[in-house]
Chain A
Amino acid sequence: MSQIHVKTIINGDASEFLCAADETLLDVLRDRLDLTGSKEGCASGDCGACSVTMDGRLVCACLVLGAEADGTEITTIEGMATGENLHPLQQAFLDHAALQCGICTPGFLVAAKSLLERNPDPTEEETRYWLAGNLCRCTGYDKIVRAVLDAAKIMRETA
């Protein structure tokens, strides 16, 4: 199978890669670009561990083909902190002990950031429904939801 040449911007940097027609964006990120922060929990769009944004839209990287990334801008968990400064959501997850094993954390952070970009002041219910596509088996979601609501508040106050 001949490979497809893809040009994209990942976390602000121009990036080019070759991929097979059936390779997902998640495979490309993890196996070709060594961006292993996005996790594969299911490869079927059910767990959200592979959440990234594509031109600002929240997607499951396991449901996007690598070839579809051509000409788009992708942001992954690796692009969330600025240098050594954590994003307020990342800090809030640490402050609230919102991770246990941490495998779901990159997906939750990317999804939560996308929520707060659209809705800087979400209710608990809105937060729970927005994050319903992200599975966490460790925490029971309590501390995750608190962390997101707290980060939203901090971001509003410092905006």
Chain B
Amino acid sequence: MPKDEFTPRTFSVVGTRPLRPDGIDKVTGRARYGADISAPGMLTGMVLRSPHAHARICSIDTSVAAAMPGVKAVITRADFPVHPENNGTADVLDNCMADKKALYDGHAVAAVAASSRRAALDALATIKVVYEVLPHVLDVDEAMKLDAPILHKGRKQEGVPADVSDNVLTRTEYGHGDPEIGFQMADLVIERQFKTAATHQGYIEPHSCLATLGSDGQGDLWVCTQGHYMARNTCAEILGLDSGCLRVTPSEIGGGFGGKTTVFLEPTALLLSQKSGRPVKMTMTREEVFRASGPTASTSIDIKIGMTKDGTITAAKGDYRYQNGAYEAMNGTLGAMTGFAPYDLDHVNTVGWDVVTNRPKAAAYRAPGAPMAAFAVESVIDELAYKLGLDPIEVRLKNAAREGTKSAYGPTYPAIGLEATLKAAKSHPHWSAPLGENQGRGVACGFWFNFGGDTCVSLMVNPDGTVSLSEGNPDIGGSRAAMSMMAAEELGIPMERVRTIIADTAALGQNEVTDGSRVTFAVGLATIKAARHAIQIMVERAAMTWGIDPEAVEWVDGAAQPAGPNAGKHPPMSLAEIAAIASNTGGPISGHFEVNAEGAGVSFGTHIADTEVDPETGAVKIIRYTVFQDAGKAVHPSFVEGQLQGGAVQGIGWALNEEYIYGKDGTLQNAGFLDYRIPVASDLPMIDTAILEIPNPGHPYGVRGVGETGIVPPLAAVANSVSRAAGVRMTSLPMSPPKVLAALKKM
């Protein structure tokens, strides 16, 4: 159980909506993103990629390329100095540069650094790779069959049965009770199979980095990433460097959503730089982003749920089969853990399968694994409610997990907000608004774990009474503002007096990647604790000035003051006054805090979607959409709303349009924004939001992460809405017009 960190209080800064401190840079074009920087003598690095889905690399001849004018370095996998011992890092290296086999269309096989982009492109064209094309497999159910083409031999882990192929790397199981007993108690049991397509995170900024590495093993890396410490540690391990010799500075980041939690170009850029003796900049094209960076898993899921006439779920079973692309990942496990997490169940069993296929390695995408699981589970619950003539929100309320519920994946919940989101949805005008012809309304719930992890924060009190705060996580959507707000709240000074910067890897200790919705929670917690540390020192300085005991001094409204009549009569000393004389009272004042933060506090949301289905074309239009989510405490409500809206719209895209489309030869057919269509402004209505605040016991202010849960319910909410509008249950995503039309015709 998480430590009880939370104490109820009133706030003066937290909960307001100040302008973000990095705002002017970002509306004037001054902010520097990954590709916006250059270095003297810089070369351009480019990658040669496999045109085959699965092929043995027989030979690579780079001799012509290496001799071309302007070409300063050419590398293949043979140039990487070490083979990482750790399986995970070895996979990352293999994904960055193929070894004996190319495992997907777009897999890197060689790279060059040249004096211009044109010279680099010309050089790539001369590299001769001899491939032996192998049979490939893309679909998860196909890949599990014993006669499927095998990507890696001998990677099957314990617990994977013999009757599935070596492409199945892990099988995990969760649950309690006995579903078979539970199904016998049900009045209605529904079992269905669901499919979802692979989608891409679709960040607008392609991966980019600028690398310098000397022959002495000292280097600098500028990179757009969700985690510069991860980038440093991974590159150091892959290249056999001391991590302390590699300084990584994060650029502003143009979106990530989980897709920038690993490295793709960085080790290659560093190695090219070392070989050429020059800085090397590498930037992916959009086509490369689609072909070679992390999409999500595609899935095949079986769900069986039993319900009594009054809406009680008696038993639930799930079989979650996820393909994660060419290397190991745990999306299927996470699907199996999250699907039934919103419900209080006596009898539940789930199995997750993680399978490799000839597609790019799946990277995390906002609550990885959960949206597909929720799509399947929430669809069956909706169908049960519909067939039993029950209100779908009432059914969910009846079975909702609460404080003390043993979750389907094991732990028992502390205070959680699912019920609050359902009640808010039920009483919201959206739920009772009339619907027109061909329109339907869907509702769905979603869950995400949230995460804490290694976190360091430093807080300096400057001589003029301003405060500089250093955090080690890229600001992906307003975290500088959130940290400044929490520090200001704790110190009792205006937010404008706290300036937050994102420090490089040499300036702070290890920080976990910006993932798991962790930053506002974990970095916020460390910020508050670092501020308390500084306050403690300031209290001591005031006590010293007054010649009294530090215990007799308290910190109120940004100033030290005597704690009671016995402490003597001294006018309060403000932070600025204490800072001004710090030099004479013992030297500069700073606070810091380092922690592996626990108690992130799980998160729940409920979404309502209205859609209209065009019976002529099968096109679906989102008419109205409302998100209800528990934020614990919303530090900056506008940014919380933005997270909920952005997550919902990504989910809408997943539900309706987005899909990796492959040809028969296993090559990706739609590696661009024209053919991989993400939602645009004219596809959407306003996205309404309601923020619930059920304090997280694990955070001093009650904060929970909010970034990921918003993408979990929409696949199901939209599918339930379309199913009701069309009068036919939709079980396959995306619900593109041809698919909806075919379903309508079958009726």
Contacts and interface: CB of A to CB of B under 8 A. Distances in A.
B202 interface: yes
A140 B33 contact: no
Contact of B681 (A20, A31, A132): A132
A44 B642 contact: no
B64 interface: no
B26 A145 contact: no
A142 to B, nearest CB: 5
A101 B205 contact: yes
A137 B642 CA distance: 11
A104 B28 CA distance: 12
Nearest to B653: A137
Contact of A129 (B202, B256, B682): B682
A78 B29 contact: yes
B286 A94 contact: no
A68 B735 CA distance: 42
Interface stretch (B128-136, B534-542, B672-680): B672-680
Contacts of B678: 135, 137
Nearest to A143: B642
Contact of B27 (A43, A90, A124): A90
B205 A139 contact: no
A41 B26 contact: no
B31 interface: yes
B32 A36 contact: yes
Interface string A7-44: 00000000000001000000000110001111111111
A78 B28 contact: yes
Given A36-B29, A77-B29, A137-B255, A100 B639 contact: yes
Interface of B is mostly: loop
A105 B681 contact: no
A74 interface: no
Contacts of B26: 99, 102, 105
Nearest to A148: B681
A101 B649 CA distance: 16
A134 B643 CA distance: 19
Contact of B19 (A42, A94, A144): A94
Interface in B10-34: 17, 19-20, 22-24, 26-33
B510 interface: no
A142 B645 contact: yes
B686 interface: yes
Given A129-B682, A137-B203, A41 B642 contact: no
A128 interface: yes
A139 B27 CA distance: 15
A20 to B, nearest CB: 7
Contact of A101 (B27, B477, B684): B477
Contacts of B256: 101
Interface in B684-741: 684, 686-687
A66 interface: no
A103 to B, nearest CB: 3
B60 to A, nearest CB: 27
Nearest to A106: B29
A76 interface: yes
Interface string B439-480: 000000000000000000000000000000000000011100
Interface residues of A, number: 59
A55 B567 CA distance: 73
B205 A41 contact: yes
Contacts of A140: 642, 645-646, 648-650, 679, 684, 687
A42 B35 CA distance: 13
Given A41-B205, A44-B672, A94 B29 contact: no
Nearest to B44: A31
A34 to B, nearest CB: 8
B19 A102 contact: no
B204 interface: yes
Given A41-B286, A44-B286, A141-B649, A90 B28 contact: yes
B257 interface: yes
B28 A77 contact: yes
A19 B674 CA distance: 28
Contacts of B645: 139-140, 142-143
A37 B650 contact: no
B686 A97 contact: no
B312 interface: no
A40 B203 CA distance: 12
B122 to A, nearest CB: 11
A42 B252 contact: no
A43 B285 contact: yes
B681 A145 contact: yes
A61 interface: no
Interface in A121-156: 124-125, 127-129, 131-146
Interface in B644-682: 645-646, 648-650, 672-674, 678-682
B253 interface: yes
A135 B255 contact: no
Given A44-B673, A99-B27, A101-B253, A128 B205 contact: no
B206 interface: yes
B585 interface: no
B686 A138 contact: no
Interface string B245-261: 00000001111110000
A81 interface: yes
Given A41-B206, A49-B204, A86 B252 contact: no
Contacts of A124: 686
A101 B687 contact: no
B638 interface: yes
A102 B254 contact: yes
A36 B36 contact: yes
Contacts of A131: 680-682
B309 interface: no
Contact of B672 (A42, A102, A142, A145): A42
Contacts of B285: 43
Interface in B200-216: 201-206
B673 A135 contact: yes
B423 interface: no
Residue from the set A1, A42, A102, A140 with the largest chain B CB neighbour count within 10 Å: A140
B118 interface: yes
Contacts of A59: none
Nearest to B639: A97
Contact of A42 (B36, B286, B639, B687): B286
Contact of B680 (A39, A90, A135): A135
Contacts of B22: 102
A89 B674 CA distance: 28
A141 B684 contact: yes
Interface in B25-54: 26-33, 35-36, 38
A102 B34 CA distance: 13
A105 B27 CA distance: 6
Contacts of B639: 97, 100
A30 B283 CA distance: 13
Nearest to A109: B27
Given A39-B33, A86-B24, A97 B681 contact: no
A1 B205 CA distance: 30
Interface of A: 1, 20, 30-31, 35-44, 46-47, 49, 76-78, 80-81, 86, 90, 93-97, 99-106, 109, 124-125, 127-129, 131-146
30 contacts: A20-B118, A36-B32, A40-B35, A41-B204, A41-B206, A41-B673, A42-B673, A78-B29, A86-B27, A94-B27, A97-B638, A100-B255, A100-B477, A101-B205, A101-B255, A106-B27, A132-B683, A133-B680, A134-B680, A137-B202, A137-B678, A138-B255, A140-B687, A142-B641, A142-B684, A143-B638, A143-B641, A143-B642, A143-B645, A145-B681
Given A86-B27, A97-B20, A101-B254, 12 more contacts: A36-B32, A39-B205, A41-B205, A80-B29, A97-B17, A97-B638, A101-B476, A102-B31, A104-B204, A124-B686, A137-B646, A142-B641
Q: Please name the 6 residue pairs, one residue from A and one from B, whose CB atoms are nearest each other, closest first.
A: A37-B29, A103-B254, A140-B649, A102-B26, A97-B638, A100-B477
